[in-house]
Amino acid sequence: MSRWESNAAVFHRRVDALNETITVKPAHQFDDMATMFAPKKPESSVCWCLSWRLSSTENRALTGTARADKVRDLCARNRAPGVLAYIDDEVVGWAGVAPRSELHPFANSRKIPHVDDLPVWAIWCIRVRPGYRKKGVTSALIDGAIDYARQSGAPAVESYPVDNRGERVDLTMAFVGTRVMFQRAGFRKRPTPTRSPAGSRGLSCGSHSTEIPTTQYCQLPVVSVTVYR
């Protein structure tokens, strides 16, 4: 078993300004995913970060504890559904990263164009628990997600951050991250094909939805990513 297949794998570490070590691992531990996403009432239907993975039909049909069971199944796969960040063995953050082809809304979107035929991976959700924000967790998650995608064979990684132009973004709508976050990690804006005009795209997670201007960003092919990091 390779270290990327092990539940105990550690593939990214970062020490923040307070000298706390942030460790990023593949999200194979369901209990830690539950810490990040589970509702107080298990029967409640919450996102569990499935809204951007499933088709709209499957997403609507999957309710209550069935959503948790779906995540449990994803965690049990060889390919983790994303990565989790830890400080002192306490789970503090999550980043969803997976092949775009596994993310039904993105794979079939007319608003987010497929620029080429590369089997790219996508980072589509970032979440940091209250009390652990502004500690460098987000940066560690993005870097860790890129590392996991790279080691899993991804030719490139893309994201769809809010282009908030420095304005404050409501936390319930900022799960895709902001443009600056990804630019700092070495992402570059992709040219938009003329056949797919840019515009606003509805973002949703659970019961939340809004129209936020978003921009497609792409980490350059991972074979040359070190040039930009």
The single-letter code of the amino acid at 219 is Q
Q: Whole-angstrom Cα distance, residue 121 to residue 103?
A: 9
- Structural domain boundaries in the chain: 12-192+200-224
**CATH level 2 (architecture), domain 12-192+200-224:** 3-Layer(aba) Sandwich (3.40)
Each of the 229 residues of the chain gets a pLDDT tens digit; together they read 233 333 446 656 666 656 788 999 999 999 999 999 999 898 899 999 999 899 999 999 999 999 999 999 999 999 999 999 999 899 999 999 999 999 998 888 877 778 778 899 999 999 999 999 888 999 999 999 999 999 999 999 998 887 766 667 666 667 888 888 888 888 888 765 433 323 323 222 222 222 333 456 666 444 322 222 2
Number of H helices, E strands in the chain: 6, 10
Q: Whole-angstrom Cα distance, residue 163 to residue 134?
A: 20
Burial 73-103 (b: 16+ CB within 10 A, else e): ebbeeeebbbbbbbbeeebbbbbbbbbbeeb
For 106, other C-beta atoms within 10 Å of its C-beta total 21
Q: Answer whether 76's CB lies under 8 Å from 110's CB.
A: no
Question: Rounded to the nearest 10 degrees, what angle do helices 65-76 and 30-37 cross at?
Answer: 140
